[in-house]
Amino acid sequence: MVRLRYFVVLLVLFSLVLSGTVLAAEDTSGDDPTADDASEPTSGAAESGASETTVECSEPISEDTTLDGNMVCSSSGLSIVTDGVTLDCQGYSISGSGSDIGITVSSVENVNIVNCHIENFLWGIYVYEGNYLQVSGGSISQNNKGMYISSGDGVTVSGVDDFSDNQNNDIYTLHAVSDLTITDSVFSSTDPVYQIFIVDDSSNILIENNYFYNSGQDISLAGIAIDFNSGVSGTEVKGNHFEDDGSGINYYDPVGSHEISGNYFLDMENYGISLQTADSGAEFAIDSNEFFWVDEDAGIGIQFTGWNADTTVSNNYIVGAENGFYFLGTSVSSEIDFDSNVVINSTNGFYTGSSEEEDLTFTSNRFCSSTDYDFYCDMMGDGNSGSGNFMDSIYSCALESESVCSSDVCTGEYIVPTCFEDTDGGLVLEDDGRLEDIDGNVIARDECLDGTHLLETYCDGNIPKGIVYECGKGCGGDMGEPYCVDLSGEPSSAGTVAGDIGGDTDGDDPLIDGYCGNRDVTLEDSCIDAEYLSESYCESDAIYTTYYQCTDVSYFPDDILQNTYSCSESSANGCRDSVDNDLDGLIDCADNDCNNLKCNPADDSYGCFENECVKIVLPDAELATVVVQEAYTGFLWSYSDLLDWLNSATVYHEEGVCNDICESYSQTCLFADAGRNTCEADASEKCTCI
């Protein structure tokens, strides 16, 4: 009978497991539910001595509940229906079948969900009018949406170890969520449209100290997307880490005040921050964010698309981007201040192509591009200003053109276009060259003015120019190519600068038709096409031309080009001026740019060595050892004297050592055996003595 009773108990327990029922107990002991004896998930009942409650899949929870095992549900998981309830899963999982909801929190307040692993549901956690909910620890993975918040105040998500493999969003809000806090959590889902998606009049959102990586790589995807419906306000996105995401943060049509600060972006596929349209009363502060691309020229730091919110962009650091700041579409009715930003090793520091940007202010920024331009603007509006920036290479900033080149003058405003490339490499008389802007558009070409004179175009820095040469033997190849030739018609570098007669009839004014020349050649102002003008002038006994672009112009004021910083600490005696010239936080010798350069403004014997300004002391040179030869006290003989001296020698035909033989006659041996032996050799037969 006892054995049968045990069998019945086991059968009941087994049936509970099959039905998805898990034993749980109200935590009234005060013990830490995460203590070592309860940290490992195991199947089974609550500890002996605790009051047990039975929790089944789809069952409502109305009291504090602690799971003591994993739950596998064929439909929905649990539903919390009473205020103030804590559900502590102790690291156990609630698993579904791909449909329904893992945990429902509806029309209740002050609920806590702790250390739960929620997986494989349509929605992992669904919140409807759930105020002051706290979700902490655990993970939410393999759901369609990880967490769906449809209205609710004061929801906090913190320390969730892993939002992963959720198909749409890790966290999605709808219908006026307010005072939402998301902190210290990890978002690693690879396929969602957005890992966090905030929409629809939500307000007072704090997203701080989270880690985002491996979201979808499509251009439209982002780790955080805020407001694709209407009216999200009062967000703070701070101290988050974004890595290998398609994009980092995307704002669309927000209202109110927003702050994006202290975030770190690494290798974004598209952009770090994207700002698209906005309510005209919106205000943004974008401060102290860092953007890095390991593979340079791969993405955009901050992108503005039709942006019309007053924005301060300050103290941001961008390295290796394709464009540091990028404008797309026209920004209107807004003021955007760029202050103390640094963009280095990027294709373009600042880029605006087709938009007419207005009311931009640039102060103390450092744009040091590696490829194209520090500052590229094709179209600019009114009211732009700046001071104290470093922008070394600048592409022309102008409005759309109504001025044209006609009758050899510009009919209205004009600019000097930026000369980006001279295809023949400079003043090369034997090659046909042309000048191009950054987009490859041809500004001007080399030209034979007649059979002798060549107008050779070149880039004077970024200014497109030409100078007239007199070719040595002629100008023009067999097919009329514009270069100097020799007598056989082959390209030739022989040529001299054609002198001028000392007069420029229009004073180098693109609005007046004029010319410059000498008795052999005259270079007249001329329209290359409806856009470009060749404006001739005389200077330094030579005939030149500058190429102008006829266009209505809105220049940045001159002070935007008053550069006070350098891309290198070593520029302009920067290693001994006690100034951080390149804004990298390192002054003078502390900066490796200054290695082996002079560092003391008063003493050139000091130089930078191992990041210290030290006195360079050269070692004393070693004294050379001079060997003084004794003066020769003899005399020099003539050839005839030498022959007479040799002929005075005596030859003795005796066998023995010639030294001994000659000495016996009180003479000195010259050689033995007619020079075939030495005077010391034995058995010589012929000794020459003197």
| Reduced DSSP (H G I as helix, E B as strand, rest coil) percent helix, strand, coil of the chain, to 5 | 10, 40, 50
Query: What confidence score (pLDDT) does residue 23 get?
Result: 39
Query: What confidence score (pLDDT) does residue 360 get?
Result: 80
Neighbours of 646 (CB within 10 A): 11
User: What pLDDT, in 10s, does the model give residues 187-220?
Assistant: 987 766 788 998 878 889 999 999 998 754 555 5
Cα–Cα distance between 630 and 312 in angstroms, integer? Answer: 88
Query: What confidence score (pLDDT) does residue 629 get?
Result: 56
Q: Is 570 left (phi over 0), alpha (psi -120 to 50) or beta?
A: alpha
Cα–Cα distance between 512 and 279 in angstroms, integer? Answer: 47
Query: What confidence score (pLDDT) does residue 243 get?
Result: 87
- What are the C-alpha distances in Å from 475 to residues 432, 468, 469, 546, 670? 11, 12, 10, 21, 81
Query: What confidence score (pLDDT) does residue 309 get?
Result: 85
Query: What confidence score (pLDDT) does residue 75 get?
Result: 93
Query: Of 105, 32, 114, which Cα lies nearest the Cα of 67?
Result: 114
- Residue 400 near residue 379 (C-beta atoms within 8 A): yes
- Token digits of residue 485: 């030739």
- Residue 427 near residue 467 (C-beta atoms within 8 A): yes
Radius of gyration (C-alpha) of the chain in whole angstroms = 44
- What averages of pLDDT result for each successive group of 10 residues across the chain (690 residues)? 38 39 37 34 32 74 94 96 96 95 96 97 95 96 93 94 89 88 90 81 92 65 75 91 86 90 90 82 92 75 86 92 81 77 84 68 78 68 66 55 76 80 91 87 91 92 91 87 91 89 68 81 88 86 88 48 58 75 78 85 86 78 57 56 74 87 88 83 86
User: What pLDDT, in 10s, does the model give residues 533-552?
Assistant: 899 888 878 899 999 888 75
E strand spans, 81-218: 86-88, 93-95, 101-106, 112-114, 117-119, 123-128, 134-136, 139-141, 145-153, 156-158, 162-164, 169-183, 186-187, 194-198, 203-208, 211-213
Query: What confidence score (pLDDT) does residue 151 get?
Result: 86
Cα–Cα distance between 541 and 564 in angstroms, integer? Answer: 36
Query: What confidence score (pLDDT) does residue 284 get?
Result: 93
Query: What confidence score (pLDDT) does residue 380 get?
Result: 58
Query: Of 319, 374, 380, 370, which Cα lies nearest the Cα of 349?
Result: 374
Cα–Cα distance between 291 and 100 in angstroms, integer? Answer: 40
Q: What is the pTM of this model?
A: 0.60
E strand spans, 281-344: 283-287, 290-292, 300-305, 310-314, 317-319, 323-328, 336-339, 342-344
- Residue 377 near residue 356 (C-beta atoms within 8 A): no
Query: What confidence score (pLDDT) does residue 199 get?
Result: 83
- Residue 135 near residue 160 (C-beta atoms within 8 A): yes
User: What pLDDT, in 10s, does the model give residues 591-608?
Assistant: 888 888 888 888 888 888
Query: What confidence score (pLDDT) does residue 30 get?
Result: 34
Kindly state the DSSP code that residue 687 receives in the 8-state scheme: E
- Token digits of residue 164: 């992963």
